[in-house]
Amino acid sequence: MAPLKFVALMILLTPLSCLLAESNAAEVYQLERGDIITVINGEKIVNVNQYQRLVRISNFKIEFSVRKSNGTELDLTTTLRKARNCNFRFGTDIAHNRGDGVRVTFVHPKGPGSSCQVVTKE
């Protein structure tokens, strides 16, 4: 009889543990073509060369800000690849954006840019 009580208790507690796991999970965002990367690790991006340098010298964790085409701004974090080639490392292609960040032109479907965590400010 004791194992049956244990099984019943586990069945009752399982939905609660699933709810707790879902509430603690960070929101995931995939970079999209047209997004503007405006800040990397606290430094405002002005041009492609600066962007490439910052990605190249970053540790594997990178924090950055993105402005969407509708004007919404998001603070994101992701883990970069080990390669030193910055486009491969971040999994995106970018272009100039007239002195205000860099514009995302392509996101590799399995790259770090396709699975960013949204940073919520508290």
pLDDT of residue 38: 96
Boundaries of domain holding 62? 28-118
C-alpha to C-alpha distance for 107 and 112, rounded to whole angstroms: 9
> Is residue 81 a part of any domain in this protein?
yes
β-bridge mates for residue 98, sequence order: none
pLDDT at residue 5 is higher than 60: no
Place of tokens 């962007």: 51
Tens of pLDDT, residues 51-106 = 999 998 888 889 999 999 899 999 999 988 887 777 778 888 999 988 789 999 99
Number of domains in the chain: 1
pLDDT at residue 8 is higher than 60: no
Domain CATH for 68: 2.30.42
Least confident of 2-11, 23-32, 63-72: 2-11
